[in-house]
Chains A and B, each alone.
Chain A
């Protein structure tokens, strides 16, 4: 079965689409299929050029959603489009908070399975998806056996976003349909907790801290080292859950995926959840007291030692350069 029609959920962000959305549009082009993007947030008209540049011929607009969480109304719009236009072979959805909500709602609305944590999509006599398991040490390949559309939720940085220079997409509005009670969760306030300096997902150097730091105040060592290296500071889930740093710092399965030139893991043992988010780094340096910590299995340079000694020494050396 050749893939002839692909829809991409294109999540709006800061006057464009999220990077993951652009990665999905880029990957969609490799199938030689007709590409349709679906967006929301009230800015569709100004996004048509970007959607077209990345290969979409049509951009469906679900509207500004009136402050509602995106999951129910955007899934409603896509389900209505499936009913009116027929199902595409494949719907690609970015792994993000709203992306997962949209995928889950859509799965139940269309009565289709949903394939998540996907890092590869191929047409191999049907749709075959790749899913890293056991901390990314193994890749499970799943064949989609159901009826179209295949709902595929793809992790960030699985593909590289590249413009193809296409003409602007034609914008069409999409009705969300009758959503009833499902659409009653509303956003009343937005809080930004981003750090100064380069963005975690884009920094060439990431210095991350984990439970091995011992206490919240020791995280300043991680932040200082990151700053001196013109990098971004990251964190394991353990210390985010413990409330030491905001969630936006989290690297891993439920956090951000990073692929910097170098990733410096400080007091991070290397739980599955964490490794999935940073394994793709070009170089990995790990500092950990436990010589058996799993992080050392993937580190190019492992320092078995106390972060409270190694990090201050590193900071001094960086300052004196």
Chain B
């Protein structure tokens, strides 16, 4: 079974984030890392292909190829190859534009299943997996917290507001997985060395015959304003009296 995993390299979420002043695009000038949310999809793909007794995992991404640390990380975990669509014309693409590009890149590979995170940790639009499925003409199951494949059919536990649903779906399909669905493996030293020579195809938008980018986005950020700020209140270092402070506070707001 061949599995494609859509991944994204993002600025380290632990570092302070900012928007470029003119374009309001997220500042991506610093180091890029593999979105932690994507490591679950990579791990899931590796486990599914291992269980199926064959097949390859391909990671597909759109974004700057100047720093491929995050992509190499996915390859070091065990993915066989990568496709990184890197093209300045794609800068400022919305989720639909990105989905068109990824669909075109995925369309050039052999796949039975496409895995995505439920949303990226920097943009969190959360619609890309389904847009991708629609463009590829495939069924989709989002928010999967458990995935198995048996006889060409997917069985998924999908999160709902009240709990979860059991969902079955034929392959090929697009599935978005939640964090925690599996425990991502750490890359071994051998894996890291092997990743250096694994193929990373870097087609342009023209190679794929798609157009995206800010001009096609259909939306424009016109302002960024400070939200109504909450003021930090009293900060008290617990000295055995923390619970008393909380009780007094709850009394003052008439909850007690």
Chain A positions near chain B (C-beta within 8 angstroms): 13, 18, 69, 71-72, 75, 96-97, 100-101, 103-105, 107-109, 111-117, 128, 132-134, 136-147, 153, 180-194, 204-205, 229, 237, 240-243, 246-248, 253-254, 256, 261-262, 264, 272, 279, 282-285, 287, 291, 296-306, 309-310, 313-314, 316-318, 321
Contact = CB atoms under 8 A, between A and B. Distances in A.
Contacts of A316: 243
Nearest to A103: B127
Contacts of B244: 317
Nearest to A119: B227
A302 B165 contact: no
Interface residues of B, number: 78
B238 interface: yes
A297 to B, nearest CB: 5
B162 A193 contact: yes
Contacts of A247: 145, 159, 163-164, 178
A96 B166 contact: no
A97 B161 contact: yes
B79 to A, nearest CB: 22
Contacts of B142: 71, 97, 100-101
Contact of B162 (A103, A194, A261, A264): A194
Interface of B: 13, 17, 19, 24, 94-96, 99, 118-119, 124-131, 133-135, 137-143, 145, 158-170, 173, 178-180, 217-227, 229-230, 232-238, 240, 242-247, 249-250, 253, 255-256
Nearest to A311: B243
Contact of B255 (A108, A192, A229, A242): A229
A186 B126 contact: no
16 contacts: A72-B139, A100-B142, A105-B130, A108-B130, A108-B134, A114-B94, A114-B125, A139-B225, A145-B220, A180-B137, A262-B253, A262-B255, A301-B246, A303-B245, A304-B236, A313-B243
B250 A262 contact: yes
A184 B139 CA distance: 6
A299 B243 contact: no
Nearest to A256: B161
Contacts of A114: 94-96, 125, 127, 131
B225 to A, nearest CB: 5
Contacts of A113: 94-96, 217-219
In the A-B complex, the 8 residue pairs with the smallest Cβ-Cβ separation, listed nearest first, are A305-B238, A104-B130, A146-B218, A241-B180, A108-B134, A313-B243, A104-B127, A189-B166
